[in-house]
Structure formats: C-alpha cells, structure tokens
Structure 1
Amino acid sequence: MDIIDLIDRTRDSISARSVFGQPIQQGEVTVIPVARVMGGGGGGGGEGPVPEANSRKGMGHGEGTGFGLSARPAGAFVIRGDRVSWLPVVEPTRIILGLQVLAGIALLVHSLTRQRGH
C-alpha cells in the first residue's frame, strides 16, 4: 500500500457517513444518531545499503504505513414535525472521573490551607 492509497482510505473512513447514522423513524419522530469520529494515518519509507551479511547484499529498502480510527457515540438529533432537538450522550464514567479529580483538588487545597494556618 502506498501513501496516496492510505490517505484516500483515511479520507473515506472519516466522513459524514461515519458521523451520522441512518435515520430511524417511529411514527412522526425521526432520530438521527451521531458519533464523534477521529482518525489519522501515517507512512514511511526508506532506501540505502544494507550490510553485506544481509541476504539482499548491498540493497536497501524500507516501508511502513499505519492507520487508526476511533468512534464514540455523541448523541442524536430528534426531529418532531418542524422542531429539531439535540440529545447528547451522557457518559457516567466521565462524570465520575471528573468528580474524582475535583474531589482530589479540593482535598489538596484544604490540606495546603491547613498547613499554612499552623
């Protein structure tokens, strides 16, 4: 695979088709699921002589490519008649982590203010 092919595949994978799911209709309500999509790719190359001990005596070569894609649910657009609303996904683990960080900072500040007072 060459670098141009990798870039084309990356561009095709990270598109509106990846972000917006197929609309789901129930009665007069339409729901369009939405994802947060991130991705990237990379490539490499090389040339140059290889030590004589190598079976390809004196020949050099190298190559490399990589690709990554991450998708997480973000929410959904809900369409009722001529009204559109956004319902975000609530991620309990992120909320809990945020509260833990906040509690840690509060304990640190409390500890530092008590040390200054004595």
Structure 2
Amino acid sequence: MDIKELLEQSKDAVTVRRVFGEPIRHGDVLVVPVARVAQGGGAGHGQGRDGKGEEIGSGGGGGFGYSATPAGVFVIKDGEVRWRPAVDVNRIVLGGQLVGLALVLTIRTIFKKWHRRR
C-alpha cells in the first residue's frame, strides 16, 4: 500500500456523517446525534543492508484508524435548539474509584502519623 492510497482511504473514513448521525424525527421534535471522532495514521518504507553496504531487501507499510464515542444530541423543538450531553457511566465510576482511593490513602497517612505520636 503506498502513501497516496492510504491518504485516500483515510479521507473516505472521516466525514461529517461520522460526527453527526442521521437526524431522527419524532413528532415535532428533531434529534441529531453527535459523536467525538479521532483518527490517526502513519506509513513508512525502509531498505535493509548487510555489513558490506549491499542492499538485501526492502519493505514498507502503513495504516490508519479512528474511534468514535457518543458526545450527545442536539434536540430541536419549536425552533429552539438544546444540547443534551451523553453521560459516560464508566468515566463516572472510574472517577469515584480514584476519589475513594485518594481518601483511603489520606486516612491511612493520618492514622500512621497519629499512631507515631502516641
């Protein structure tokens, strides 16, 4: 795969449709889903040489990838647009665990200092 081919495939993968989903109409309400999209890619080519400086082979490769996570929705009703963010429960749980761990370590440190003073 050469670099031009990789770039063409990458352009096709990242479109507005990846960020804004198909609008959903329910009665007089229009909902437009929105996602966070990130992409990355790379390519390379190289040649191998032996100890005498003679070429013994060459190769190349490349690739790209992207990810999308829900960000929320735009709700359009009666000409008024409202943003409703998506709630990531996993992030909330992880944050709670980190706060709990910090609390436990702080309490442990306080008890150790208190115990040494006695």
TM-score bracket for this pair, using the shorter chain length? 0.7 to 0.9
- Structure 2: which 5+ runs fail to align? none
1:23 is aligned to: 23
Instruction: Tell me the equivalent position of 2:92.
Output: 95
Question: 1:50–1:23: structure 2 CA closer, same or farther, 3 Å change rule?
Answer: farther
Q: Could you list the per-position Cα deviations for residues 55-96 of structure 1 after superposition, in whole angstroms to 9, with x for gaps in the alignment?
A: xx9552111101111111111000012211111111222211
Distance 2:47 2:86 in 1: 49
1 CA distance for matches of 2:89 and 2:28?
30
Corresponding position of 1:78: 75
Counterpart residue type for residue 42 of structure 2 = G
Partner of 2:9: 9
Residue 48 of structure 1: CA displacement?
4.0
Aligned residues: 113
TM normalised by structure 1 equals: 0.84
SS of 2:58 mapped into structure 1: coil
Two-structure CA RMSD over aligned residues (Å): 2.0
Identity %: 44
Note if contact 1:50-1:60 (Cα within 8 Å) is conserved in structure 2.
no
CA distance in 1 between counterparts of 2:83 and 2:44 reads 42
The secondary structure found in structure 2 opposite 1:25 is: strand
Q: Kindly indicate which of the two structures has a greater share of residues assigned to strand.
A: 2
In the TM superposition, structure 1's runs of 4+ consecutive aligned residues that sit over 6 Å from their partners are none
